[in-house]
Structure 1
């Protein structure tokens, strides 16, 4: 092989290595308002992908960034609620919020999106869920709260990696928690759209879509 052919072959190998190397590089983390969320997380030995994320606004304030993780992409509420594997909602605080205010928002979000029969069924779990916020003095800027569904275990909540509640075993209750953001009366309709995968500029969703 002459020198010219060796050069051509070397360039071809380098070019192929560059292409395949680029394909192997993982996608960068998603960024919302300067807060980075991993594209993929591992929950209960299962890889979950970031389905969508956005900002929870209250009046003129940015309260937190929330991201929804699922085994595969879903764009409608019924499909999200029907997922059989692990799931996660990650919340990253953007400002300091007292535990009473934060807890009230969560409890109100659940109760506005469940009917009377569900409220009666969930009494004990709602009480335990409320105890989570009583155990947290306040949520500070940068704190990370994760709300996981673990098949065979239940709902687990962690604050900055520390478990703050025992498992709540009812899948229907986890779905009730999800409806805080995804229900017919979400706490933030724009955040609902973003968690379902919409991007800025998309038409807003309504109802269970």
Structure 2
């Protein structure tokens, strides 16, 4: 009888131990998954982006800084990972850049001015042929911009579209325009080399 009770206690102990091990395993696994998430300047950067019927993968992410202040987190999504900015600029494949605004210092006018500066650099100051399209693109940023807003600028293989907080603001057709707008962040001359490097996973 004593032996039977001992066996029962042993089985019960073994059962409890297995449950404890399983619980511990789940906790560790959850912690590992949490640590695997990409966090940049407090922003959780998604590994995937599905938009306009396209499924894209995170290539890299970085921070746009000015005067030691984090302005936004920029994330690059591609069909095929690469460390070449020019390859992405020249490609006709779908590509997207997500901007998570992290500073209340960014206003609509400041964003438009930054876009202007970006086009000047990406076109080597030859914006005239694209003026009408650039003006249309800039109008997508006319509404008030708040900290926490999320913009997605995507080339879907035909046109460049802009989303703000999940709402489509408009689109601009043309491959040449696509090269100019993506070149703002990934071209030969950009507004922030560190951000470019982050987006390229360097």
The TM-score, its normalising length taken from structure 2, stands at 0.78
Distance 1:45 1:28 in 2: 27
Gaps of 5+ in 2: 1-24
Distance 2:54 2:79 in 1: 8
* 1:2-151 matched pairs, under 5 angstroms: 28-96=36-104, 97-115=106-124, 118-134=126-142, 136-137=143-144, 139-151=145-157
Distance 2:113 2:38 in 1: 29
Aligned to 1:5: none
Distance 1:146 1:29 in 2: 20
Distance 1:53 1:195 in 2: 4
Deviation digits for residues 43-78 of structure 1 (CA, Å, limit 9, x no counterpart): 333321111100000112100000010001011122
Aligned to 2:11: none
Which structure has the larger Rg over C-alpha atoms? 2
Aligned to 1:178: 182
Gaps of 5+ in 1: 1-17, 199-209
Distance 1:115 1:106 in 2: 14
Aligned to 1:4: none
- Higher helix share goes to which structure? 2
- The answer on whether the counterparts of 1:28 and 1:39 sit within 8 Å (CA) in structure 2 is no
The TM-score, its normalising length taken from structure 1, stands at 0.75
Distance 2:102 2:89 in 1: 27
- Runs (4+) of structure 1 exceeding 3 A deviation are none
Q: Pairwise CA RMSD of aligned residues? A: 2.4
